[in-house]
Amino acid sequence: MTTPSPSPADNPARLARAVLAQQRLPQARAAFRSCRLCHHLCGVNRLQGELGKCKAGPAARVYQARVETGDELELIPAFAIAFSGCDLRCSFCNVHLPSWNPSLGEEFDPVSLGTRAAAALAAGAKSVMILGGEPTIHLPSVLQLVAALPAAARLIWKTNGHGTHDARRLLDGLFDVWLVDAKFGNDTCAAAVGAAPGYVRAVRENLLWARSHSELMVRHLVVPGHVECCWRPVAAWLAEYLPGVKVSLRLGYWPAAHSADPRLRQFLSDREMADAQQLAVNHQLNLVP
Ligand code: SF4
C-alpha cells in the first residue's frame, strides 16, 4: 500500500506562514517609522506622513488583481496581485503611472483578495503572485495579505531586487518562489534609466539571499541599447555566482512611449535579440520559457 503524498494544504511550512506573517506585522509597521525597506534608505517616518522616494504612505492600494498568463510557463496561470507604487522609476516601465503612483487603484482589502485568490486557485490557477509597482514598499500590507491567502497556495514574490536586509527578514519563509528582476548590469544605467544608484550591489545581495532561502527565478528584460552594458554583465555574473539558476530572458520589449530616451521608444532590433540569446548560450544559462 502506498502512502498518500501530503497535499499542499498539509505542508507545515505553508500552514506556518500565515502565523509567521501575523507575528511579523508589528515589526513591519514599526519599520515605517524610519523606512529603510529598500536601498534608497530614506529614513522617513511614513506613519507621520513623511514621504520617501516611492511617495508611499502607510496604506497600500492595489491597481490590479486578476489571473495572468503572460509570465513564465511554470508559474501560470497565476492570480497576480499588483500593489500600486514603486521605489524605482525605470524609463522603460510599460505600466508607468499605475505602477509608480501609490495613490491609484483600489483600497487594499486582504480578506477580499484572499477570497478571490482562493476562487482563482479552485478554477485552475497554479500560483498566487504578489508584485507591484514594487511590493517591498508595502510590507505590512503584504504580511496581511499572506496571512489571508489560502494555505495551499504556491506564493511567488515578484520583486525588483532593491529591498534591504530589513525587508528580507520580514519576508523570510513566506514565499515559495522569488522571481527577481535583474534589471541593470551597471550602476550608471541603473541611475540614469531607473533612478536607482547602487542597484547592482543591491540586486546581487537579494539574488544570493533568495537562492539560499527559496526557489529562485531571475528575470531580465532586454532593453534596446542595453544588451552590452546591462545584459552582458548580468549574464556573466549569473553564470559565475548562480550557476544553473533558472533565467527568464524576456525579449518582448514594448516601446515606452513616455520615455525621454528615444532608444527606449523603439522595439528591440533583430540583431539585439540574437546577441542577447547568444550571450545566454555562451554563458550556458539555464533558460526557462
Ligand atoms: S520603501 Fe524605499 S523609497 Fe519608499 S520610503 Fe522606504 S526606503 Fe524610501
Residue 88 Cβ contacting ligand 1 at under 6 Å: no
**Domains identified in the chain and CATH numbers:** 8-287 (3.20.20.70)
Closest atom of ligand 1 to 162 CA is 2
Residue 240: alpha-carbon gap to chain centroid: 23
Residue 35 Cβ contacting ligand 1 at under 6 Å: yes
Backbone φ, ψ for residue 217 (5° rounding): -130, 135
Q: For residue 113, which amino acid is it?
A: L
Q: Residue 236 C-alpha to ligand 1 middle, in angstroms?
A: 30
Model pTM score? 0.94
pLDDT of residue 13: 65
pLDDT of residue 4: 41
Residue 76 Cβ contacting ligand 1 at under 6 Å: no
pLDDT of residue 6: 40
Q: Interior CA angle at 130 toward 15 and 169, to 5°?
A: 65
Distances in Å between the Cα of 142 and the Cα atoms of 21, 109, 207, 213 are 9, 11, 20, 18
The rounded distance, in Å, linking the Cα atoms of 108 and 53 is: 21
Report the run of H or E that residue 282 belongs to, with start and end.
helix 270-282
Note the pLDDT tens digit of each residue in 210-265.
999 999 999 999 999 999 999 999 999 999 999 999 999 999 999 998 888 899 99
Could you give the percent of the chain with pLDDT greater than 90? 90
CB-neighbour burial class of residue 149 (10 A; exposed 0-12, middle 13-18, buried 19+): buried
Residue 86 Cβ contacting ligand 1 at under 6 Å: no
Return the closest-CA partner of residue 216 out of 167, 158, 177: 177
Closest atom of ligand 1 to 56 CA is 4
**What is the mean pLDDT, run by run of 10 residues, along the chain of 289 residues?**
43 78 97 98 98 98 97 97 97 85 97 98 98 98 97 96 98 97 98 96 98 98 98 98 98 91 94 98 98
The closest residue, in CA terms, to atom 5 on ligand 1 is 52
* 256 in Cβ contact with 211 (< 8 Å): no
